[in-house]
């Protein structure tokens, strides 16, 4: 049986919630396993995700008809290559309006493509309302709430806030302290290459800190992928 093609829609209606970080982590998760992956950065003005991966990630304008054609036509190809879409907060509303107008979710399911919304939580009511609206529009759609503790900390009420989101699953991206976080900002630094061979000039403390941060994140991704495969297995239908 062919595996479903996963399309990760990484999104938030707000800036600085960790959307591009999650897109980066997902892409490196697949590259570290030598598995093909494609990405799309929908911020055509100051892309963050796209420049990190060269030919693997395309920068497109999701508000432009040519960009929409390039994006959605490719997302509907059932080739078993995971796709990662970094939805810029300024194109969030237009992106999901297009998803609705063209019937993307429904067409994807008919094509063997599995869209997965990774909705980034924050403490605002507007973010919660956005997640509820998406869940109401596509009731059978897989949604995972992402809690990036560094980009959008939820504080002491984190459990209460996350419980209100319409998602059975969540990913937690732990915060990084300053010196270790700065390693991610070094031009040309690749997390997937780091896992294979850390730079010789990197501090052993930074090296250990990055690995300790990455391991539970990649474990969450792997567990979700395995669970999705089990749910799609013929003997469980």
> What does 121-170 look like in DSSP terms, one character per residue?
P-SSHHHHHHHHHHHHHSTT-EEEEEEETTTS--GGGHHHHHHTSS-SEE
DSSP E strands: which ranges in the chain? Answer: 5-11, 38-41, 57-59, 83-86, 113-120, 142-148, 169-173
> Which pLDDT score is estimated for 231?
77
> Which pLDDT score is estimated for 105?
97
Distant-in-sequence, close-in-space partners of 129: CB < 8 Å, separation ≥ 6? none
Q: Which helix (H) or strand (E) holds 57?
A: strand 57-59
Identify the three-state secondary structure at position 60: coil
Is 236 exposed, middle or buried (CB count within 10 Å of its CB: 0-12, 13-18, 19+)? exposed
Q: Could you report the average pLDDT of every consecutive run of 10 residues in the chain (237 residues)?
A: 88 98 98 97 96 95 95 97 98 97 96 97 98 96 97 95 95 94 92 93 95 97 91 53
Residue 10: HSE in the Cβ half-sphere, 13 Å Cα cutoff:
29
> Which pLDDT score is estimated for 234?
46
CATH of 5-175, one of 3.40.50.300, 3.30.750.24, 3.40.50.2000, 3.40.50.720: 3.40.50.300
Cα 66 versus chain centre, distance: 23
> Which pLDDT score is estimated for 233?
59
Task: Give the domain ranges of the chain.
Answer: 5-175
């Amino acid at each position: 049986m062919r595996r479903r093609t996963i399309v990760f829609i990484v999104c938030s209606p707000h800036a600085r919630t960790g959307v591009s970080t999650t897109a980066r982590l997902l892409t490196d998760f697949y590259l570290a396993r030598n598995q093909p992956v494609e990405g799309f950065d929908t911020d055509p003005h100051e892309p963050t995700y796209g420049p990190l991966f060269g030919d693997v990630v395309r920068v497109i304008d999701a508000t432009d008809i040519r960009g929409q054609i390039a994006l959605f036509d490719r997302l509907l190809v059932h080739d078993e290559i995971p796709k990662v879409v970094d939805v810029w907060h300024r194109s969030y509303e237009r992106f999901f309006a297009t998803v609705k107008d063209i019937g993307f979710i429904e067409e994807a399911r008919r094509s063997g493509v599995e869209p997965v919304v990774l909705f980034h939580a924050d403490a605002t009511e507007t973010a919660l309302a956005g997640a509820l609206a998406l869940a109401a529009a596509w009731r059978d759609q897989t949604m995972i709430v992402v809690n990036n503790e560094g980009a959008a900390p939820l504080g002491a009420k984190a459990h209460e806030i996350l419980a209100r989101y319409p998602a059975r699953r969540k990913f937690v991206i732990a915060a990084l302290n300053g010196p270790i976080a700065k390693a991610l900002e070094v031009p040309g630094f690749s997390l997937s290459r780091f896992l294979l061979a850390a730079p010789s000039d990197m501090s052993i403390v930074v090296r250990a800190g990055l690995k300790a941060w990455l391991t539970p994140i990649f474990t969450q991704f792997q567990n979700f992928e395995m669970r999705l495969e089990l749910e799609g297995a013929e003997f469980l239908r």
